[in-house]
Amino acid sequence: MLSWVKYRMGHLRRWREYAGSVARAAFEFDPDARVYVIGGVAEDRVTALSDIDILIMVSKPISPSESLTLRREILIKAMDSYGLPFEAPVEIHLTDAQNAQRYLSLSKKHIEISPTNSG
């Protein structure tokens, strides 16, 4: 196996840990948020080109610019305080409850990361 593939797959195998880091950071900004792993990782369709899709559903309506700012703040907090590696292949989708339903309906499977199982 090529070294970059091995390296990437090593990160992808740690998806629970990485999702927990992001969830703990998200709960600091919004204790009522809901956090899900969606996409290929949740559906057990992981390849070397996969990323870890994490849906954060905030408890209040949020504008696109607020979403962008909060997504960045959560990612920085996850790296600085909860050990998320800079190179972790994580993609954060942050939206409110109404728009989150679109993500959840398109996903064949989703895994909720609760405050009690986020690490």
Number of domains in the chain: 1
* Beta-sheet pairing, 90-96 with 52-58: parallel
Residue 119's pLDDT is 61
Which range has the worst mean pLDDT, 72-81, 84-93, 94-103? Answer: 94-103
Residue 117's pLDDT is 67
* 34: β partners: 57
CATH of the domain at 88: 3.30.460.10
pLDDT digits (tens, 9 = 90+) for 5-28: 898 888 899 999 999 999 999 999
**Residues spanned by the domain of 26:** 3-117
Q: What average pLDDT does the segment 66-93 reach?
A: 96
Residue 29's pLDDT is 97
Q: Are 85 and 7 in contact (CB under 8 A)?
A: no
Distances (CA, A) of 85 to 1, 10, 11, 33, 40: 23, 12, 9, 23, 20
Asked whether residue 1 carries a pLDDT value surpassing 70, the answer given is no
